[in-house]
Amino acid sequence: MAKTGVFNSDSTAMEKVTELIKTELMKLVNSIVQDENCSVETIDQAQDKLYALKELQLCKKSLSSLKLKECPQEFRCPISKDLMKDPCVVATGQTYDRPFIQNWLKAGNRTCPRTEEVLSHIILTPNHVMRELITKWCKSQGIELPDPAQYINELPVTEHGHERFLSLLKSLSSTISEQKEAAKELRLLTKRMPSFRALFGESVEFIHQLLGPLNQIEFHPDLQEDVISTLLNVSIHEDNKKLVAEIPEVITLLMESLKSGTIETRSNAAAALFTLSAVDSNKVLIGKSGALGPLIDLLEEGYPLAMKDVASAIFSLCLLHENKARAVRDGAVRVIVKKIMNGEYVDELLAILAMLSSHRRAVEEMGELGAVPVLLSIIRESTCGMNKENSIAILHSICFNDRTKWKEVREEEKENATISKLAQDGTSRAKRKASGILERLNRAVNFTHTA
């Protein structure tokens, strides 16, 4: 019978990941239920979490089945001694299961575990033939083999791995070439292995060491990109969010990185602010730091790679009421309305605009910038229910704030019955807002007739 140690390890990791996903899903569901202005992105994220839970259950079922089955010796990984799920070949021609050989290499080893030969390179080549043979065997045994892309790699950091981690941090204060090499490796480690992200949470000093190269006078865009990307990866870990954001230099350096460096650096800086803003206390810190200004500037520049990360960060920060005022003050309404008029990232930006429509000055700006015809056009022509909902919510706020806008709405309704159609076919919130506008229009007509 095959040994089951690796499966016990996988099961423990999966349980941890499952609990994390359930916690995140609960937050999203609460947000959807309690906030009538919740965005379509929040709903999509909840759907993604449900899909991830489904995939985890399938993987657990598959792994449980594998515990009970015998498998041929040649299908077993020389390191784990269990059935390989993602076989790959190293430089010596030996085949290993990818997560286990990756862990071996990331621990600083540069030899083949089986032959003990020094590896001429550390490129891992997929062994498609072996994968096909294993897949056929699994099929014959009634076993569902997980897709390599869905295989969860949550292997713990070994003692050698921990030593390598400390060595890389130390190298960040060495020569430029050593800094670059260390930063690149830390970026890869924290991207691929959640356990390495967790290591940064063990000491504030580790974060200071990571950020050390960004305090240098000489500017190296590639080094900055790797450090900021590593910081993003570290911030993904739930237990790190509060610790990372409360280090004063973190938000300052992220703000600086929003303004300069490669576009990937700027995008990842925005993504890091979005990730950190998941904690309410961090929303306060980030808002007070003045980060919304640089985020809005980057949004205005319109780099496609950065747009979704920037929009997500702004949306998340504006869930806090005082940050709405800061966003309005920093020109968010002007930038967003202009981009929506140009048909750019309408879904994401309408969600932000709908959130800002609870702020009086924001609503005044929307009216002044000519948002009403654009919103009516979206309601009339869009096939997206959430875009229609956000548009009518914004329109409702504008019209009830500025009576001069009723003429445009009345003409649109007379010509196309746009609001009436939405009151019949829209989402529950859209129907409510549309009915409110229709009621006001009807009152105005009745008042005129009576007069």
DSSP string, 193-254: -HHHHHHHTT-HHHHHHHHGGGGSSS--HHHHHHHHHHHHHHHHSGGGHHHHHTSHHHHHHH
CB 31 within 8 A of CB 70: no
User: What was the pLDDT predicted at 109?
Assistant: 78
Mean of per-residue pLDDT scores for the chain: 85
User: What was the pLDDT predicted at 191?
Assistant: 86
Q: Is the pLDDT of residue 88 over 70?
A: yes
Choose between 61 and 98: higher pLDDT: 98
Tell me the C-alpha to C-alpha distance, in Å, between residue 446 and each of 139, 410, 449. 73, 14, 5
Integer Cα distance of 369 and 263 in angstroms: 29
User: What was the pLDDT predicted at 2?
Assistant: 35
Integer Cα distance of 227 and 221 in angstroms: 10
Q: Is the pLDDT of residue 183 over 90?
A: yes
The mean-pLDDT minimum among 10-19, 113-122, 217-226, 355-364 falls in: 10-19
User: What was the pLDDT predicted at 205?
Assistant: 96
CB half-sphere exposure, 204, CA atoms < 13 A: 9
Q: Is the pLDDT of residue 96 over 70?
A: yes
Residue with tokens 């020109």: 331
CA 216 to chain centre: 29
Tokens of 90: 């190293």
User: What was the pLDDT predicted at 309?
Assistant: 92
User: What was the pLDDT predicted at 149?
Assistant: 52
User: What was the pLDDT predicted at 10?
Assistant: 43
Max intra-chain CA distance, the chain: 98
pLDDT category of residue 9 using cuts at 50, 70 and 90? very low
Percent of the chain predicted with pLDDT > 90: 57
pLDDT digits (tens, 9 = 90+) for 204-229: 999 999 999 998 877 799 999 999 99
Choose between 80 and 9: higher pLDDT: 80
> What residues have CB less than 8 Å from 407, skipping those under 6 apart?
none
Fold of 345-450: Leucine-rich Repeat Variant (1.25.10)
Q: Which of 128, 96, 275 is nearest to 197 (CA)?
A: 275
pLDDT category of residue 81 using cuts at 50, 70 and 90? confident
Long-range contact pairs involving 90-99 (C-beta distance under 8 Å, separation at least 24): 90/119, 90/122, 90/124, 91/119, 91/120, 91/121, 91/122, 91/123, 92/117, 92/119, 95/127, 95/130, 98/124, 98/148, 98/151, 99/151, 99/153, 99/155
Residues 30-55: what's their mean pLDDT? 71
Tokens of 91: 């430089």
User: What was the pLDDT predicted at 397?
Assistant: 94
pLDDT category of residue 15 using cuts at 50, 70 and 90? low
pLDDT category of residue 45 using cuts at 50, 70 and 90? confident
Burial grade of 220 (CB within 10 A; 0-12, 13-18, 19 or more): middle
Tokens of 390: 């956000």
CATH of region 73-144, choose from 3.90.1170.50, 3.40.710.10, 3.30.40.10, 3.40.50.2300? 3.30.40.10
pLDDT category of residue 376 using cuts at 50, 70 and 90? very high
pLDDT category of residue 4 using cuts at 50, 70 and 90? very low
pLDDT category of residue 5 using cuts at 50, 70 and 90? very low
Name the phi and psi angles at 390, rounded to 5: -65, -40
User: What was the pLDDT predicted at 252?
Assistant: 95
CB 209 within 8 A of CB 219: no
Integer Cα distance of 250 and 380 in angstroms: 45
pLDDT digits (tens, 9 = 90+) for 385-433: 999 999 999 999 999 998 899 999 999 999 999 999 999 999 999 999 9
3-class DSSP state of 97: strand
User: What was the pLDDT predicted at 54?
Assistant: 67
> What residues have CB less than 8 Å from 17, skipping those under 6 apart?
56, 152, 154
pLDDT digits (tens, 9 = 90+) for 283-313: 999 999 999 999 999 999 999 989 999 999 9
- Which of 20-34, 182-196, 197-211 tops mean pLDDT? 197-211
Integer Cα distance of 275 and 413 in angstroms: 42
pLDDT digits (tens, 9 = 90+) for 347-369: 999 999 999 999 999 999 999 99
pLDDT category of residue 157 using cuts at 50, 70 and 90? confident
Integer Cα distance of 386 and 429 in angstroms: 10
Integer Cα distance of 92 and 95 in angstroms: 9
pLDDT category of residue 58 using cuts at 50, 70 and 90? low
Percent of the chain predicted with pLDDT > 70: 85
Fold of 164-330: Leucine-rich Repeat Variant (1.25.10)
Residues 230-252: what's their mean pLDDT? 94
Domains 73-144 and 345-450 share a fold: no
Tell me the C-alpha to C-alpha distance, in Å, between residue 173 and each of 164, 182, 186, 386, 404. 15, 10, 14, 49, 62
pLDDT category of residue 444 using cuts at 50, 70 and 90? low
Integer Cα distance of 345 and 299 in angstroms: 10
Q: Is the pLDDT of residue 184 over 50?
A: yes
Integer Cα distance of 223 and 214 in angstroms: 8
Domains of the chain by residue range: 21-30+43-61, 73-144, 164-330, 345-450
For the chain, first and last CA: distance in Å? 92
User: What was the pLDDT predicted at 118?
Assistant: 85
Residue with tokens 């859209």: 430
